[in-house]
Structure 1
């Protein structure tokens, strides 16, 4: 088996069919499989996945409900995978035409690969503008090492095993940590521009802000984990205090449109999450 496509899922009944239909339409000459790793869904996620058995003959559904979190689901599926290459995508997005072939071609020369992220197809325009994702994203910048998103990521199976998979103690930013550890181990991260994923953002300001807070909360822990590996200090009290001080002014100015309001609230929640994370993880970013 050349390729294993891995989809961690938790209650993705409303979106999974779109992703599986996109995979069923892929053209790839080598043997490949799809593994849906169910993380304890209480909706019809598993039933919907099983309905695609005739369109994706090498489709399997594995139980990954023992531990909550997509990191565990990805690891369970990777352990069951037969492919030389592991391709990770999510159950609420949609891979583009030729995604499997583009990822596999890139992995012939690289250890870890990230693709292009497109945002207009599955999201309302105001939401794309709120994130400043009008031109899409290539590899993500972090102020340290670049990283690939877990919803558009390919890796050699042997490399995944060498770094012991995703860190299951992380409920957020697992893909950042994973990409960094792969590179710290001496492996190469490359970009595959033709491996396109249409990403689905959170659909309301409230859900965007909740997600931003959780990501911000995880950042201090991520820094504590990687600072001995050469990660420079990215967080600072100065940046947090500046955001808090300017927040009322920026909030008033943002009331002119929904995208601006969402952007300001999202940044405020991210900083709030960072501050709470610093307190919770007993980290002083001095």
Structure 2
């Protein structure tokens, strides 16, 4: 079994994640593959070797040839021969039972995901924006459930069959991968006790940028998967506009309202740009959906 971590910077965050992996309840040897997508591999190697115990094999993969998490994850899982591949991110923290739970789930399923928890790494006012939906599998476009790449596991044979993550997707390649797995007869299994503590963006500006980027490519996601049943209802678009308008009026009331406003307007403006810039070609290409935080603010 191997854990793949795409690395694009942030040694302090990586230290927290590696410490969490070192404290896993899983009693057997396993491998950690860190796919360095930006920066130098030597500091990453030195940090990981200092933290990880002796029974954990460390592999450093160079994925700097092409920027982006999809490429980093693909390079990472192809650098291991493990039959089970788990994915987590640099800036989150896995629960001590994460390895055990995900591995046991994948003895029955071919693809699995778990719970995202927001309170451990974020202030309560910000965590509350994301509600209880984080404790269930998200669904996009009234279609199929999916799992975020920061808490995802697959059997190797399925990854190879699907060709891994699509490297043409700027973000939310995990949604596309999970849906393609379902089309191939491998619906995703949900393991509620496989918990990853998720780190939210620290500022309203960063939240705006994150949701702008997600929403921009929702058009591509929908067009790529509507033949399989993805649906958009006009009333939902109107509701989103109404929510954004209300959020803008409430923004002066404090940081919680400013964060909500940033998320709402990032979603609206990103979707508008997607509609304006993504033409008929997008029908032939798979596309992403918001997954870094699979459930939006309530």
> Please, what TM-score do these two structures have when normalized by structure 2?
0.86
Q: Retained in 2: the 8 A contact 1:240–1:275?
A: no
Q: How far apart in 2 are the matches of 1:120 and 1:195?
A: 16
Post-superposition offset of 1:245 = 6.0
Q: Structure 2 vs 1, CA of residues 245 and 189 (structure 1 numbering), >3 Å: closer, same or farther? A: closer
Unpaired segments ≥5 residues, structure 2: 281-298
Q: Structure 2 vs 1, CA of residues 227 and 136 (structure 1 numbering), >3 Å: closer, same or farther? A: closer
Q: How far apart in 2 are the matches of 1:11 and 1:81?
A: 22
Q: Structure 2 vs 1, CA of residues 33 and 246 (structure 1 numbering), >3 Å: closer, same or farther? A: closer
Of 262, 272, 276, 1:275 maps to 272
Partner of 1:97: 96
Partner of 2:222: 223
Q: Structure 2 vs 1, CA of residues 243 and 153 (structure 1 numbering), >3 Å: closer, same or farther? A: closer
Of 30, 33, 36, 2:31 maps to 33
Q: Structure 2 vs 1, CA of residues 208 and 46 (structure 1 numbering), >3 Å: closer, same or farther? A: farther
Q: Structure 2 vs 1, CA of residues 169 and 30 (structure 1 numbering), >3 Å: closer, same or farther? A: same
Q: Retained in 1: the 8 A contact 2:243–2:264?
A: no
Q: Structure 2 vs 1, CA of residues 108 and 54 (structure 1 numbering), >3 Å: closer, same or farther? A: closer
Partner of 2:65: 66
**1:110-149 correspondence runs (5 A):** 110-132=109-131, 136-142=134-140, 143-149=142-148
- Please, what is the CA RMSD of the aligned residues? 2.1
Q: In the comparison of the two structures, how many residue pairs are matched?
A: 278
Q: How far apart in 2 are the matches of 1:272 and 1:146?
A: 25
Q: Structure 2 vs 1, CA of residues 29 and 111 (structure 1 numbering), >3 Å: closer, same or farther? A: same
Alignment pair present for 1:258 and 2:255: yes
Post-superposition offset of 1:235 = 6.4
> Please, what TM-score do these two structures have when normalized by structure 1?
0.90
Unpaired segments ≥5 residues, structure 1: none
Post-superposition offset of 1:32 = 1.3
Range with bigger deviation, 35-44 or 66-75: 35-44
Q: Structure 2 vs 1, CA of residues 214 and 171 (structure 1 numbering), >3 Å: closer, same or farther? A: same
Partner of 1:11: 9
Partner of 1:20: 18
